[in-house]
Amino acid sequence: MTNRSTIASNEAQIRRLIADQQRAICTKDVDQIMSRYANELIIFNVTPPFQIKGKDAYRQVWEACLPHFPDSFEIETRDLTITVSDDLAVAHWLFRFTGTEQDHPAMQTWMRVTAVCRRNQGNWQILHEHLSVPFDPETSKAAFTLNL
């Protein structure tokens, strides 16, 4: 049975993992981005294909998409929720890019993320990540704004 101190420590480590990952994305550092993923990673990305298997395949996605990101940006995170045990964690949150290039398409979108993390040899890694944009089922159009 996991005690409260261990749970709190594990949750803090997952929060740090997510924050470090977001910093790596903001600096467009592919090596740092990929360092947080498990080798047997499976991604459900917001763009096709339906799933991406393995770090090598996902690295190619990052390398292809990062040049299309704004030149400079930060990531705003809302509603981060983490459920954690000894070696497994699930986190979900909302995020968007922020910065001076307000007219950039990436700055217009709120996205949802769910991440499953596993401790491997003492280090937390992202084993599965699911990114999505909600949609209106009546129109099949994406809902890019956050209505709280």
The string of pLDDT tens digits covering residues 20-63 is: 999 999 999 999 999 999 999 999 988 888 899 999 999 999 99
Give, as one character, the DSSP assignment of residue 105. Answer: G
Distance (Å, whole) CA 122 – CA 111: 30
Q: Is 126 exposed, middle or buried (0-12, 13-18, 19+ CB in 10 A)?
A: buried
**Local confidence band at 7 (pLDDT 50, 70, 90 cut-offs):** confident
| Predicted local confidence at residue 137, as pLDDT | 80
Report yes or no on whether pTM surpasses 0.85: yes
